Amino acid sequence: MRQVLLPIMIGLGMSLIAVGVLMRARRREESLAEILDLPYGEHDVPIEAITETRGAIAEGAVNLAGRMVSQFDAKGSLGQSLERARIPLKAAEYVIVVGCGGVIGAVLLSFITQQWFCGLIALVLAPIIGAGLPRFRVTRRRKAFEAQLPEALSLIASSLSAGHTFLRAIQMMCEESEPPMSEEFARVVYETRLGDPLIDALERMAVRLDINDLKWVVQAIRIQQTVGGKLADLLHTLADFIRSREEIRREISVLTAEGRISAWVLGALPIFLLFAVQVVSPGYMAPLFKGWGIAVLAFTGGSIAIGTALILRMVKIEV
């Protein structure tokens, strides 16, 4: 009974730590958004709403993780990925959450499969998954933004034709659009309220999202402000052009869907069968977890990863 309760208690404890960090970060982000959205002088906001309050242990863990991140990630790429993915955590906090998740997964897998090797695999996969999750969210948000961009430009152009200013047209578009479009352009509006020029805020958003279509739009708007002309007509033209490119992307995505599914199925099936057989009949897989069996498993895992990466690279077509 003690052997059963120990891993469960460890997993629950670390899960509570991870959830606490996430909830605190979420509350901090909501408080900052509330402050930015308030009219000047409406009412005071307590300083506790935006200041960070941690215990001694949590503060020491975050500082240690921060020093490790600064040594291995001097350029701050992890922090930039978290910002682009809209994950409300600092780089050090995210490292702690990933580490807790890896330990929890290792304990649970070791307990379920009764093999320490499976726990080691979980510890190795935790940083890989942690590094890939922000990139996955960034890619998903980028695709959603690209799909919404033509309609957003059409809405802004229609508001300009009705006589609204450019900033007011963006605000109206944010009210009618869905995330991530509304979130990113709302950030542009907040930056203009803090005194930043609108075109500079748009250009910063284009760099942050790293979308070529959006960069072209911002460059065209900057040129239009220099040489003059009707901005509404320009945005309508850009919307039609981007809409055509998006149709081509969707057609390519449909044609390459079979290859992507094949890559994920072929890559996940051996791993699923390994854990399924180990859970159903632990003694059957015992020779693979000692001696040359470990080398065979490592070689097999490497070949699966390389094969999956090659298939995904073959079906990836840039437009």
What burial letters (b/e) apply to 62-75, b meaning 16+ CB within 10 Å?
beebbeebeeeeee
86 found inside a domain:
yes
Looking up residue 205, the CATH number of its domain turns out to be 1.20.81
Three-class DSSP category at 254: helix
Specify whether 68 is located in the same domain as 151: no
Residue 178 lies in a domain: yes
Q: Examine the domain organization and report whether 214 and 286 are in the same domain.
A: no
Please tell me whether residues 109 and 7 are part of one structural domain: yes
Ranges 43-52, 67-76, 137-146, most confident: 137-146
* Model confidence at 2: pLDDT above 50: no
pTM above the 0.75 mark? no
Question: Long-range contacts: 301-304, Cβ < 8 Å, 24+?
Answer: 304/266, 304/267, 304/270, 304/271
Query: Is 119 a member of any domain?
Result: no
- Of 87-91, 140-144, 270-274, minimum mean pLDDT range: 87-91
Asked if 66 and 92 touch (Cβ cutoff 8 Å), the reply is yes
Number of domains forming the structure of the chain: 3
The torsion defined by the Cα of 221, 223, 225 and 230, in degrees rounded to 10, comes to -70
Alpha-carbon span 143 to 20, nearest angstrom = 31
d(CA 158, CA 1): 68
Q: Do 231 and 152 share a domain, yes or no? A: yes
27 belongs to a structural domain: yes
Q: What is the extent of the structural domain holding 200?
A: 142-246
Instruction: For tokens 């003694």, name the residue.
Output: 283
Give the pair of three-digit tokens for residue 143: 């695709």
Do residue 264 and residue 239 come from a single domain?
no
pLDDT of residue 298: 83
Do 105 and 8 lie in a common domain?
yes
Res. 215: pLDDT tops 70? yes
Tell me if 127 is assigned to some domain.
Answer: no
Q: 1 and 87: one domain?
A: yes
Residues 6+ apart with CB under 8 A from 248: 319
Domain shared by 315 and 273, yes or no: yes
Residue 134 covered by a domain: no
CA distances from 163 to 2, 50, 159, 175, 294 (A): 73, 38, 7, 18, 70
The verdict on residue 282 lying in a domain is: yes
Lowest model confidence (mean pLDDT) among 38-42, 184-188, 288-292, 311-315: 38-42
Give domain status of residue 272, yes or no: yes
Could you tell me if 7 and 97 lie in one domain?
Answer: yes
Question: Is 169 a residue whose pLDDT tops 70?
Answer: yes
Structure tokens at 287: 């020779």
Q: Tell me the per-residue pLDDT of 112-156, one tens digit each, with 9 for 90 and over.
A: 766 676 777 777 778 888 888 888 888 888 888 888 999 999 999
- Pick the last residue of a domain from 246, 265, 280: 246
